[in-house]
Amino acid sequence: MKVAVGTDHAGFLLKQTVVDTVKELGHEVLDVGTFSDAKSVDYPDFAYKVGKTIQDGLAVRGITICGSGIGACIASNKMNGIYAGICHDTYSAHQGVEHDGMNVLCLGGRVIGPELAREIVISFLNAQTEEVERHQKRRGKIKAIESGTYTGD
């Protein structure tokens, strides 16, 4: 699977752990930057780059890292077809994929350390979306909200 990884300056120190973990699992990394923590850069730029690679079919999943994970998550979820979740535990990382169709994992580089990040990435990438009726129905409602056709039922 191809996995896009992007980070701002605040997530940069965690990025190598994430990239190494993705590769250890046998996946291909598409690194969209940043490539240094020497200067401040804006997390929406990198959240967009990760999301765009998924929208364009160049990656199946993505991982964004900013200081808290929150900003990257908010920016990611503004993009059609991008279902991002901030996860600082392994349960949320796999459950978000299995139940909710999450395709972008957001991490806080100033919140978690490398070992926990590694375990979360493994949980996220090993998870598969469950094609169970109740989850499909709920994901359908999310897509209706996204497209503006949701009727509230």
Sign of the four-CA dihedral 107, 109, 114, 116: negative
88 is catalytic: no
Q: Are 84 and 106 in contact (CB under 8 A)?
A: yes
Which entry of 27, 88, 99, 135 is annotated as an active-site residue?
A: 99
Which entry of 9, 66, 94, 106 is annotated as an active-site residue?
A: 66
CB atoms within 10 A of CB 47: 31
- Spell out the domains of the chain, with CATH numbers in brackets: 2-147 (3.40.1400.10)
3-class SS of residue 107 = strand
Average pLDDT over residues 20-36: 98
Q: H or E stretch including 91?
A: helix 90-98
pLDDT tens-digit readout, 79-127? 999 999 999 999 999 999 999 999 999 999 999 999 999 999 999 999 9
53: cis peptide before it, omega within 30°?
Answer: no
99 is catalytic: yes
